[in-house]
Amino acid sequence: MELTGFGERLAKLRMAKGISARKLSFQLGKSANYINKIENGKTYPSMEVFFDICSSLEISQKDFFDEENEYPSEVNEMLGDYKRLSRDARASLKNFVKAIAGKDNR
């Protein structure tokens, strides 16, 4: 992923999580504009900081690079809840999701 793409992805994920760039910078123990530098394509974070960013956003490193998934922390939370459901509840939820997504329930 190119520098600008990396920064754009970080910005999208950060905003989806509702965290300001300043707050994320401080969570990482960095200067107030550290995340802005990354998001503006001026620098990459170190690997250690990248792992910390993912942790702060509650996503995996794989999720970070999965650009088709705009809300990975929400998807991961729902998947965890889904795994705890009974078989019947999972089937009902599957049908419900298909119905609200406008898909055929066959």
Model confidence pLDDT, tens digit, residues 7-52: 999 999 999 999 999 999 999 999 989 999 999 999 999 999 999 9
Confidence (pLDDT) at 102:
85
* Fold of the domain spanning 3-68: 434 Repressor (Amino-terminal Domain) (1.10.260)
The residue extents of the domains of the chain are 3-68, 71-106
Give the CA diameter of the chain.
54
Q: Cα(48)–Cα(61) distance, rounded to whole angstroms?
A: 12
3-state helix, strand, coil in the chain (%, to 5): 65, 0, 35
> What does the pLDDT look like over 80-100, one tens digit per residue?
999 999 999 999 999 999 999
Question: What region, left, alpha or beta, does residue 34 occupy, with left being phi > 0 and alpha being psi -120 to 50 degrees?
Answer: alpha
Residue 106 has pLDDT above 60, yes or no: no
The amino acid sitting at 25 is S
Contact 37, 44 (CB under 8 A): no
Confidence (pLDDT) at 64:
96
* Neighbour-count burial of 101, counting CB atoms closer than 10 A to its CB (0-12 exposed, 13-18 middle, 19+ buried): exposed
Confidence (pLDDT) at 3:
72
